[in-house]
Structure 1
């Protein structure tokens, strides 16, 4: 029982407090202001023009039979069509599934079978991969109604059964489509993908209020406003790419996004100078390459208000270097696809706080709890705040997660418990509740900001007729963060490293970033008494073998 009549508040909040309404406010307020700039083609879209392009896509989707809770998949690098597809589907109540454009054809086919999108929009540079994925879908029982080739700056050949984005939208109205439903803040509007232990990525649903409050987090923590210009150096299909200064907060705040299809440090620095970019987002390796380029050929970076990085902590030495060479305002976030960022180091925390992931964000809570064999610790079972006692890092983020995976109750139960996400990361914390990551409970590899599980790569390698078994781990890599290493026990002694390299390169279930960079042939795998592979042991060996030159490239 309330002390007041809450009827209008509930109705207005639940149906009107949506990301799309926030975007439309900016269309009305800033119709002539740039919302999107594409330096590679010299094009730009005002908020009015961006809305019209999103409407054309929305009306075309509606004409194709796409409606409430239908799935539209994009597999797009950062490009204008990504922005249009981020906005357009939600105008007709559809869900955007944003996929990694680096996936192999077999992985795309699995993702399509799992999510059943009616329409797939993809970048022209992966036309041959998507054509092969379509063929695989035909053998698996579900094929999307339309495959749409977009962002064709390379002038790629359009597959015969596909349609170009321009042809799909050219006759559609630029006016807002009529709808027969009322949006709700709990409606799923976006579906992201994160790696799992199999070839099929986990599908992470985000609802409308997750979108609004993720945008608010950026607006609050940077802070960001309508006068800012952002450049995300990482792909928008990532949670960090989309929500950390990507299309989600930028268009909600009324700011401007600059498109970068593929990271090139010289271009990035040139565009800061030309477009007066205020915030840049990227991985630690992006920052390292920016710094090298800036030292070699300095640009005017006076417009920069901040460089934001996620995916790994910064060392104190690196942080000081970036502060001196690029901007004194460095930010470092920590989180997951499921929860966005949940701890955040601001410029006043650095460089002294470098190496840690900082303290919890304003609306979040990050804890370190005990680790038990075969069961979760309760959220209250915290380890000592002594910077030495190691435990599992768990996250409470009620505003930015749905605590669920699509069609995966087992993984949902494994990862989410009593309002917390159990990350699988291990770490320590101090008396100020500042967390430092130590490693992984599992054996996940992170390369170029992509999460990789060794078991999937091992399964693929073991399909080679000359392979008896394999074990996969990683070694440090200056460019990628980590590089994948595969140890192979041959079934046939004639097996060569070159054969393994070619096999992985052509395997339909191994994306480019998942393919091993190093190989070694061994007589037997390190295993427990029960036959489980000792990934922790092979990881130690890989470091020694790399120094000794035992690991071989093709």
Structure 2
């Protein structure tokens, strides 16, 4: 890879290489196995005060892998995993990989319709599912190929007393487990016990084997399964690990907070793989919307790093119990999944003393493609610079050429973390992959020294009298108003100008008025960018990781 094509290398913090060895292991299974031996007696994951060591994880996942083989699942078969953050998740992930199967991460909040699409599209033959969501599975399982169902509970790995109490509260107090009837389902603990009787045959995988079908969010169309290979995930783990090495000591007592769901590509790779391979314990948060659990995790653990999305950081900054915490151990905060607003980033650093470094990636890039430096060199409002072994460019579609610095165009990515393609969708794959370059669908620009900035999604762009209005810019301005908690900008039809800007706002201060907000915008935005309509809401629709869904707001007006 020619360094002349990578002006951003001069922005790398000292000690971070231009290229890392992404071929250290042929398979992710092998990488995880070596890591389990290296840090055997250290805690790998912690949830609700219960730790799971690397050695325990290795032993339990081998037993579970043996059970999957005993049930007749063959290498290459797809297995869905549908649960929130809990200790069972990493056990399942390792078991699936050891058995040569393909993991299909599934959002537990999916409706039966959404579940059916993902399970039939992928051809799943097995599923691990928390009992909270079993009633939905019951409605559609007969329309799928699933014949192995393993049920688990929130308290299943927490020990007899704590686990039993947790399950009682979940089932009988909070009423979070609707009645269901899945007569062929097997309990998670039963599967572990049975699996110990059945040895797991050695499975030799290949770098190009698909090991994860990670479904896109579907925010711009039908949800598609991105085929992520051993090579993709090993590479992104090594890239991410290298980026954090300067801040986190390998195998230390430091811990990383994991409030984002492990079934989402961000936490799946960064926490389940990269941080895991760093020998650092992941502290799992079952329900990140309950901010008190995050506050408690900070009090009970030496949290040195955390990942999150803008809405989570914003929520924490408006929680007095969080802002009063001691952040002396915190070294790294990484934001992704959606744009980090300037006002949030600036306040985060003021409150915690740690920069909020925004990164960028997609399901299709496993996901990390670019990252801001994890120090004062970061640039608020940018998505940082490309990761090691990665090339990014901005492409001018109209003139079919690379864009010049500060010129807008579509961001394209090339690197070892780019997916193989979409499962059973060659036409969709051909639309986004050309000569190794991934078309992201994101409009952005690159500075002369290699920092990238997202302007917006192509489909989110608002066209006002022929002028492009980028929602991120409007939202960034409005988020800076002291009485605004959250906001989203969309385009709505206008007879006069084609479209105008409409803003949806959640108030921080009930006294905020439409006139006050419009006047504020007029001071910061050119006339055609100023919202023509304001609608106040109690809350905004969000994805499973807290990303505000503009699409749903637009569809309400169709």
Asked whether 1:341 is paired with 2:368, we answer: yes
Aligned-pair RMSD on alpha carbons?
A: 3.2
CA distance in 2: counterparts of 1:30 and 1:89, whole angstroms: 21
TM superposition score normalised by structure 1: 0.74
Conserved? CA contact 2:360–2:369, under 8 Å: yes
2:39 corresponds to: 30
CA distance in 2: counterparts of 1:122 and 1:56, whole angstroms: 18
Q: Secondary structure at the match of 2:449?
A: coil
Q: Secondary structure at the match of 2:427?
A: helix
CA distance in 2: counterparts of 1:97 and 1:547, whole angstroms: 38
Q: Which of the residues 393, 396, 414 maps onto 2:411?
A: 393
Asked whether 1:167 is paired with 2:193, we answer: no
Which runs of structure 2 are paired with 1:308-323 in the superposition (5 Å)?
308-323=334-349
Q: Tell me: CA distance 1:541–1:348, structure 2 relative to 1, closer, same or farther (3 Å).
A: closer
Question: 1:59: how far off?
Answer: 1.0
Q: Tell me: CA distance 1:482–1:202, structure 2 relative to 1, closer, same or farther (3 Å).
A: farther
Q: Secondary structure at the match of 1:289?
A: helix
Q: Which of the residues 466, 478, 499 maps onto 1:537?
A: 499
Which segments of 5 or more consecutive residues in structure 1 lack a partner in the other structure?
Answer: 1-12, 446-474, 488-524, 529-533
Conserved? CA contact 1:269–1:301, under 8 Å: no
Question: 1:105: how far off?
Answer: 0.6
2:201 corresponds to: 178
Conserved? CA contact 2:96–2:103, under 8 Å: yes
Conserved? CA contact 1:55–1:175, under 8 Å: no
CA distance in 1: counterparts of 2:243 and 2:199, whole angstroms: 32
Asked whether 1:410 is paired with 2:420, we answer: no
Question: 1:280: how far off?
Answer: 0.6
1:261 corresponds to: 286
Higher relative contact order (CA 8 A, sep 6+): 2
Q: Which of the residues 69, 73, 76 maps onto 1:66?
A: 73
Deviations 1:197-223 (A, max 9, x none): 787411011111222111112211122
Q: How many residues align?
A: 448
Asked whether 1:438 is paired with 2:466, we answer: no
Question: 1:104: how far off?
Answer: 1.2
Q: Secondary structure at the match of 1:205?
A: strand
Conserved? CA contact 1:53–1:84, under 8 Å: yes
Question: 1:331: how far off?
Answer: 1.9
Question: 1:415: how far off?
Answer: 0.8
Q: Secondary structure at the match of 2:195?
A: coil
Question: 1:317: how far off?
Answer: 3.6
1:209 corresponds to: 231
Conserved? CA contact 2:45–2:51, under 8 Å: yes
Q: Tell me: CA distance 1:37–1:118, structure 2 relative to 1, closer, same or farther (3 Å).
A: same
Question: 1:320: how far off?
Answer: 2.5
Conserved? CA contact 2:317–2:323, under 8 Å: no
Q: Tell me: CA distance 1:363–1:544, structure 2 relative to 1, closer, same or farther (3 Å).
A: same
Question: 1:23: how far off?
Answer: 2.1
Q: Tell me: CA distance 1:23–1:260, structure 2 relative to 1, closer, same or farther (3 Å).
A: same
Conserved? CA contact 1:107–1:199, under 8 Å: no
Q: Tell me: CA distance 1:69–1:229, structure 2 relative to 1, closer, same or farther (3 Å).
A: same
Q: Which of the residues 426, 429, 434 maps onto 2:446?
A: 429
Conserved? CA contact 2:490–2:502, under 8 Å: no
1:501 corresponds to: none
TM superposition score normalised by structure 2: 0.73
CA distance in 2: counterparts of 1:38 and 1:484, whole angstroms: 39
Q: Tell me: CA distance 1:209–1:541, structure 2 relative to 1, closer, same or farther (3 Å).
A: closer
Deviations 1:206-252 (A, max 9, x none): 111222111112211122422242222211111112122x1111222
2:118 corresponds to: 111
Which runs of structure 2 are paired with 1:52-91 in the superposition (5 Å)?
52-91=59-98
